[in-house]
Amino acid sequence: MKELVQYLARSLVNNPDAVEVKETQGETASVLELKVAKEDLGRIIGKQGRTAKSIRTILNAAASRANRKVVLEIVEEK
């Protein structure tokens, strides 16, 4: 799942080297934290969150095929 998010995010942003994905295994679900460069944050979120919602939909479809639950968090650096 981590590789899928990395691939999607790197395809969308202008600075693919700044894409970081950290995976944390929880009791009920895996949590993926996505960090991108500050100027690429809007590209990942999209208008009214449409791009982020699309990424989550693809991720949930792939996770359901593997009988897993995955949560995607887009982390904004301060």
- Residue 78's pLDDT is what? 61
- Work out the mean pLDDT of the chain and round it to a whole number: 93
Print the domain residue range for 42.
Answer: 2-75
Give me the phi and psi of 66, to 5 degrees please: -100, 10
Confidence label for 2 from pLDDT (cuts 50, 70 and 90):
very high
Longest dimension (CA), the chain: 35
**Whole-number percent of the chain with pLDDT over 90:** 86
15-43: average pLDDT:
93
Per the structure, how many domains does the chain have? 1
- Residue 64's pLDDT is what? 93
DSSP letter at 47 equals G
pTM of this prediction?
Answer: 0.89
The CATH number of residue 62's host domain is 3.30.300.20
